[in-house]
Amino acid sequence: MRLLASFLALVLASCAGYSLNGAKPKSLENVRSIAVPMFKNDTLQPRAEALATSAAVDALVSDGTYRIGTRENADAVLEGTVSEIEYTQIRSTPLDTLRPLEIQNRVAILWILRDTKPPFDILASGTSSGTSRLFVDSNLQTARTNSLPDALERASITMVSRLANGY
């Protein structure tokens, strides 16, 4: 009997402080589903808003803390804007320093999570950025376009981490 009691005490003490629900920020504890309308694009990059919206939805689904919903049935609406896409040369050719071999792109997404009940209440906001590196081939524009989804995905993962974990 003592062995059973000590075993039970050990098992119950080892679970102290464990919670089945996630570690959502306090301001988002009532949010279960998020609507994600098409993001805006303040850059000159075509289709950046569609790529950013897809990356945000993919990051939310992968994280699993929130469900994706429509404006009518969601608890909050995530509005985003692709505000900046910046390219920086990392390496150049040995004979011509103006001709890049490797480039890094950095994207910035401004986002706001609004409550749907009173739509002017802001639950969370911030700026998330993501980077990606690319090797330049014969067509620089194609190389830049192909690297953009990766940088947007990294920025979206950062954004969802802030929404799901608070950091």
147-162 per-position pLDDT tens digit: 999 999 999 999 999 9
**Pair 161, 167: CB distance under 8 Å:** yes
End-to-end CA distance of the chain: 46
Q: Give the pLDDT confidence score for residue 15 in this predicted structure.
A: 57
Strands 100-115 and 67-69: unpaired
Distance CA(34)–CA(70), nearest Å, equals 8
The CATH class given to the 22-165 domain equals: alpha beta
pLDDT at 88 over 80: yes
Distance CA(121)–CA(31), nearest Å, equals 13
Q: Give the pLDDT confidence score for residue 6 in this predicted structure.
A: 77
Distance CA(115)–CA(148), nearest Å, equals 30
Write the pLDDT tens digit of every residue in 7-58: 777 666 655 555 555 578 888 888 999 999 999 999 999 999 999 999 999 9
DSSP 7: H
The pair of structure tokens assigned to 138 is 């014969």
